[in-house]
Amino acid sequence: MLRILVLALGCILAFVEFVDVSDHAHVRVVGGNSACSGKVEIYLGLQWGTVCDQSWDLNDAHVVCRELGCGPAINSLSGGMYGSTYGAIWLKGEPCSGQEHNLAQCSKFRMWSSASDEVCSEHNIAGVQCSVALKRPTLSLLSAYSAYSTGEAVRFSCTAPSNHYAIFDFHLFKSGAGTPLVTQGTGAPRTRAELTLFDVDASYQGRYTCLYTVQTGVAFNSPESNSIDIIVLDLHTPQIWYNTSVGAPPGGVTRGGTLNITCSTSSWYPGGFFQLRLIRSNGTVRHSVSAPSSSRTFFFPNAQAPLEGYYRCAYHIQMGGRTFISRESQPLPISVRDPEPLLSPMAVSWLVSGVTLIVAIFMILITAWVRYKKKKKKPVELERDSRTCIDNTYVSLPVK
C-alpha cells in the first residue's frame, strides 16, 4: 500500500521542476557501520528519500562526506549493500565538482516515478563510504604575549595531528571572516606551519583559528582548531594642560598658589594610568595616578620652587602580560614666581612724582602765606623820625 502511494505521488510530481536542496542539515547516510558510510538520504518535500545512483560519482560522494563532517570519500557505492529502500526516490540533476560544501551548491533533484526512463530500484541507490573525520589541528602563539601594539607582527603556529593524508596548506582565519587572512603552503607535505600577521592594527583584534587542507583529488579541509584571542592596542599621544590659581602669570604659578596639571588621552583602556614626569635641572621626578576615565588631573596645592621645570605625561596600560606606554606629550614649562607687588615700578614712580609735586606746591603756598602775614603786621613807614625825651627816655613818635 505504501509503495502504491509513493508511486502515485511520483506520478503527480513527474512534471515538477527540479527543486533545490535546502541546506546541508537535510542530508544523512543510513544503514552503514558508522556515521560516515551508508546509503544517501535527503530531506525534500517534507520527507526523507534515497537518491538514484544514475550520474552519481565520487565527486558527489566527496560533497556528501564533507557535508557530514567526515573525511574524504573512499568510494561511491551502490546503496543496495546497505539494505532495502523505502519511501521516495530522488533523481539527481547536475553533477558536482567535488569542491562544494554541500549538495545545495551543485545539485537539484526531482522525484523518480515508474514512468521515468531511469532505473531506480533498491539496487540502484546511491551510497558513500567516507574516511573518518580529519582531526582538529592545534593553534598556538609563538610569543608569551596575547596583546600587541599597532605595527607589530603576530606569529602563530598551526600543528596537525598525524594522519595518513598529505597536508599541503594551512590557513589562519579571523572570527567572522569568510576567507583566510594567511595561507601557508609550500607544495610539500608537512604537519606544522608558522602563520604570521604582519603590521597589525586595531582591526586585527579578535579571535583566530586555523585549519589544514589535504589533497585527495579534491581539497578537503579539517575542522577548525582551538581559538586564540589577541588584543591590538593603538595608544595615542596624550594632551597636557595646566590651570592655576586666579591671577597667576601665564606659563607659571604664584609661589604658595595651586598648580593643577591635566593629562588626557583619546585611546583609553580600562586599568590604565597616567604618569607625569617633571624634568628639572637637578633630576627627574615622576608622579603616577590611575586613569578611571580618559583624563586625570594632578593636584599640587602649595607651589614652591621644586615644582619648576618641564612637565610631560604618558599613558600606561598593562595587558596580555605586557606593559604598553604611549609617547610622551609635548613639554609644558612651569615656573614658580613670587607674588607681584601691589604697585608696579612705573606706578611707584608716578606716585613719588605726584607726591613731590604736591609737597612743592604746598611749600610754595605756605611760603606765600607766611610772607603775606608778615607784610600785614609790618609798621607804617615813618615819613620822618622825631625823638622826644619823656621821663629820661627817648621815644619815636610818628609825625603826621
Tens of pLDDT, residue by residue over 140-176, are 999 888 999 999 999 999 999 877 777 879 999 999 8
Q: 121: number of CA atoms within 13 Å, CB side?
A: 2
Give the CA-trace dihedral at 9, 12, 16, 22, to 10 degrees: -20
End-to-end alpha carbon distance in the chain:
182
State residue 384's pLDDT score: 47
Amino acid at 170: F
- Least reliable range by pLDDT among 74-83, 222-231, 234-243, 303-312: 74-83
C-alpha triplet 218, 44, 116: angle, nearest 5°: 90
Amino acid at 121: S
More confident residue, 50 or 393: 50
Confidence of residue 331 (pLDDT cuts 50, 70, 90): very high
- Find the helix or strand (DSSP H, E) in which 127 lies: strand 127-130
DSSP class per residue in 35-64: TTEEEEEEEETTEEEEEB-TT--HHHHHHH
State residue 320's pLDDT score: 87
Q: What is the mean pLDDT of the chain?
A: 81
Confirm if 173 and 137 have CB atoms less than 8 A apart: no
Confirm if 176 and 161 have CB atoms less than 8 A apart: no
State residue 97's pLDDT score: 87
Which triple of cell numbers denotes residue 92?
Answer: 539527481
Which triple of cell numbers denotes residue 62?
Answer: 566527496
Alpha helix (H) ranges present in the chain? Answer: 2-12, 58-68, 345-377
pLDDT at 378 over 70: no
Which triple of cell numbers denotes residue 110?
Answer: 526531482
More confident residue, 69 or 314: 314
Please identify which residue in the block is written with the cell numbers 585549519.
Answer: 211
Confidence of residue 246 (pLDDT cuts 50, 70, 90): low
pLDDT at 381 over 60: no
State residue 281's pLDDT score: 87
**Dist CA 92 CA 235 (whole Å):** 58
Closest CA to 180 of 141, 221, 151: 221
State residue 377's pLDDT score: 60
